[in-house]
Amino acid sequence: MILKNKEIAIIGGGPSGLTLARLLQLKDANVKVYERDLNKDARVQGSPLDMHEDSGYAALSQANLLEEFNKNVHTGADKRIIVNERAEIVLSDHETQPEEDADSRPSNPEIDRGALRKILLESLQPETIVWSSQFFSMEKQNEGWLLHFKEGSSAYADIVVAADGANSKIRPYVTSIKAFYSGIIMLEINVNDAQNAAPHIYALLNGGKVMAFGNGRNILGGQKDNGGLGFYATFKADENWVTDNGLNYSDRKQLLAWFKKEYSEWSSIWYELFKNAATPVIPRPIYCMPLDQTWETLPNLTMIGDAAHVMPPFAGEGANTAMLDALELSKCLTSGKYNTVQEAISSYELAMRKRASIA
Ligand SMILES: Cc1cc2nc3c(=O)[nH]c(=O)nc-3n(C[C@H](O)[C@H](O)[C@H](O)COP(=O)(O)OP(=O)(O)OC[C@H]3O[C@@H](n4cnc5c(N)ncnc54)[C@H](O)[C@@H]3O)c2cc1C
């Protein structure tokens, strides 16, 4: 087996990195995940994800985690309405029967990001995650890489997998191709205890999701399992809007005033999101990798997930594609079909680039 006596470092403990770690450990590989977060509770996790049959769900199935996953599926959260800026319903699937397969489960089951992360973390062997390890550089050492972390520690690995997301610090060691700005900003807003804090929106959602469109702007959001809401206000703006707009992201009054101006023709129902937002709200400029990107495969370094192919989130494919990367890379590395790690990576990367462009 090409992984025999090899130490694998996965940089980043998001959906892609954790799924890869789990799948490789099931094949007895020697894996560490280096994650910059201080610990598992360091960050609020964003809005729920729906797992697609052939990608996210397939990866969880191969990882033997379906039982845990199914326990955490958020029933009804996949129901959606489409509304206009006045919050009038244009389309709703709340009344339609769920599309179910032979196992009687929804076709795109929803799970909170936090629950998914917990399931993956708990599936790993103890000491797999090295918290508080923010990668900042590496150099070749012997046949592998010596990794350096901001906190002052270093570690050696024979194989390195970049799973460190859209702003990957490892990607430049693979290719100079960069993501381009899509022209869109998404302002992430979380509201706790939605029933009391945003009662009208809570009622409108009816346990599911909403997509609101009007005047070239958009609001997307949904019910979280913990009684809160996860929302994104989406609009076109310059890339430097995030730093140049003068907004204090922890000042709800200021944010509401901005919203009233920017979304001037929108119903006042949406004000609830800003009046009771958990602060700070998080501005997310949306990037995309060129669809025709290519690079020469390296002997022992590759990328998965957003590090390889960040994309706008509107098709709900990012995390799903990221987890499928983990599945496909683990298969290539452990199938016995390839004579070297480089051949296995090459086969994975060819298919991954094609798949990601389509997504
Ligand atoms: C607004 C929005 C909505 C979305 N909605 C959906 C959706 O509905 N469905 C869907 O499938 N996808 C969705 N996505 C996309 C999805 O979030 C990403 O595609 C997915 O999280 C990618 O997973 P990943 O593991 O590759 O990277 P990430 O989730 O970004 O994880 C990267 C990990 O690496 C860590 N890290 C970063 N830098 C370093 C470093 N230097 N050293 C060590 N660790 C580091 C981070 O802390 C993080 O834990 C959405 C994205 C956005 C922005």
Q: What is the pLDDT of residues 302-349, one digit of tens each?
A: 999 999 999 999 888 999 999 999 999 999 999 999 999 999 999 999
pLDDT at 41: 82
Q: How far is the CA of 312 from the centre of ligand 1 (A)?
A: 12
pLDDT at 78: 81
Residue 91: Cβ within 10 Å count? 9
Atom of ligand 1 nearest to the CA of 43: 47
What is the per-residue pLDDT across 69-113, written as a single tens digit (0 to 9) for each?
999 998 888 888 999 999 999 999 887 765 555 455 666 788 988
Q: Ligand 1, from 19, 32, 33, 35: best to mutate by most atoms within 8 Å of Cβ?
A: 35
Question: Taking a C-beta distance cutoff of 8 angstroms, is the pair 190, 278 a contact?
Answer: yes
Query: Whole-prediction pTM value?
Result: 0.92
pLDDT at 106: 64
Residue nearest to atom 21 of ligand 1 (CA): 319
Atom of ligand 1 nearest to the CA of 188: 1
Question: Taking a C-beta distance cutoff of 8 angstroms, is the pair 207, 77 a contact?
Answer: yes
Mean pLDDT of the chain: 94
Q: How far is the CA of 306 from the centre of ligand 1 (A)?
A: 6
What residues flank ligand 1, with Cβ below 6 Å?
Answer: 11-17, 34-37, 49, 133-135, 163-165, 169, 186, 232, 284, 305-307, 313, 316-320, 322
Q: How far is the CA of 288 from the centre of ligand 1 (A)?
A: 13
Residue nearest to atom 31 of ligand 1 (CA): 14
Q: How far is the CA of 319 from the centre of ligand 1 (A)?
A: 7
pLDDT at 159: 98
Q: Ligand 1, from 23, 218, 302, 306: best to mutate by most atoms within 8 Å of Cβ?
A: 306
Atom of ligand 1 nearest to the CA of 321: 11
